[in-house]
């Protein structure tokens, strides 16, 4: 189904915002090394007062001032690790800026503060139950904090690299039913576009609590807060693994096509791409098919 007029109009404004973010990324990349927090703040304040940027940031708690402070702090403490989504501070700032689209869309949705809140939520369903019932068109594995399951998962990845990606797995199997519809729709499109014998779409992460987000940050991941993951409205989709099947271009095409139509926010975070649905597009752009 074609996106509504308001979604199409919003897409044009969001594409302008993304162009501003790209310009900021270039300016920060060209700045003297090491990148200084004060340089970051100066560049952001010089570019984020444009109407397309204000249209996003005025809908986010704290607006431009809070965003600039967060970017300043992120750059000041940036350390690249093997788990980082961002290899440079300017790339982390780019991810932060693009995540503001998610937060603008879902500004009225409270965060899940703890894992218990996710487990007890009546608004979420369980991925494992859905998979056992044959209702998922995408793959995933469950993260484990126990030694034996972790060792088993690692052995499977090493011995059968084409079976599943080298990813830790989802930290929570709870998911909004609407996100299942979104991911199933993307999986169907990817299946149609990818070369023969390509495995199904693979999801690395869905719902996370603020507690889990902080834990990931402690492990060295570029886990920013607030995040649409903590509101149940985001997922991370494996990208790098599909190079084994010459299917990366097909997956990029599916995701960027939805982005350009205003139906998804999409962020290239390296090995995985982050996606968040536009609430205006949920009822029209993603069809319910089991």
| DSSP structure string for 188-206 | HHHHHHSPTTPPPPBEEE-
Q: CA Rg, the chain, in Å? A: 19
CATH code for the part of the protein at 109-290: 3.30.1380
Q: How much is the pTM?
A: 0.91
The tens place of each residue's pLDDT in the chain, 290 residues long, gives 667 888 988 999 999 999 999 999 999 999 999 999 999 999 999 999 999 999 999 999 999 999 999 999 999 999 998 888 899 999 999 999 999 999 999 999 999 999 999 999 999 999 999 999 999 999 999 997 543 444 444 444 454 556 679 888 999 999 999 999 999 999 999 999 999 999 999 999 999 999 999 999 999 898 999 999 999 999 999 999 999 999 999 999 999 999 999 999 999 999 999 999 999 999 888 875 44
Q: What is the largest CA-CA distance in the chain?
A: 55
Place of tokens 């499109």: 189
Residue 168: both structure tokens together: 């830790």
Separation of alpha carbons 237 and 234, rounded Å: 10
User: Coil, helix or strand for 90?
Assistant: helix
Whether residue 53 contacts residue 47, with contact meaning beta carbons closer than 8 Å, is answered with: yes
- How far is the C-alpha of 128 from the C-alpha of 49, rounded, in Å? 45
For the chain, the structural domain boundaries read 1-105, 109-290
């Amino acid at each position: 189904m074609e996106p509504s007029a308001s979604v199409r109009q919003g897409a044009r404004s969001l594409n302008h915002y993304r162009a501003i973010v790209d310009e900021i990324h270039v300016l920060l990349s060209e700045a003297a090394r090491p990148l200084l927090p004060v340089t970051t703040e100066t560049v952001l304040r010089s570019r984020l007062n444009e109407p397309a940027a204000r249209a996003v940031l005025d809908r986010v708690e704290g607006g431009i001032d809070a965003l600039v402070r967060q970017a300043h702090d992120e750059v000041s403490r940036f350390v690249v690790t093997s788990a980082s989504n961002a290899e440079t501070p300017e790339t982390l700032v780019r991810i932060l800026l693009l995540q503001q689209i998610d937060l603008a869309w879902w500004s009225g949705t409270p965060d899940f503060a703890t894992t218990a809140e996710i487990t007890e939520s009546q608004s979420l369903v369980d991925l494992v139950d859905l998979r056992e019932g044959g209702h998922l068109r995408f793959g995933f594995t469950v993260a484990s904090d126990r030694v034996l399951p972790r060792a088993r998962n690692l052995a499977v990845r090493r011995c059968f690299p084409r079976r599943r990606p080298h990813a830790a797995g989802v930290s929570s199997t709870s998911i909004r039913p609407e996100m299942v519809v979104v991911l199933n729709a993307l999986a169907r499109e990817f299946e149609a576009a990818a070369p023969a014998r390509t495995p199904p779409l693979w999801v690395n992460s869905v719902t996370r609590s603020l507690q889990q987000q902080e834990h990931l940050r402690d492990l060295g991941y570029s886990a920013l807060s607030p995040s649409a993951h903590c509101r149940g409205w985001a997922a991370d989709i494996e990208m790098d693994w599909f190079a084994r099947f010459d299917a990366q271009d097909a997956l990029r095409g599916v995701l960027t096509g939805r982005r350009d139509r205003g139906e998804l926010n999409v962020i290239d975070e390296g090995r995985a791409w982050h996606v968040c649905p536009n609430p205006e597009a949920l009822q029209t752009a993603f069809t319910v098919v089991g």
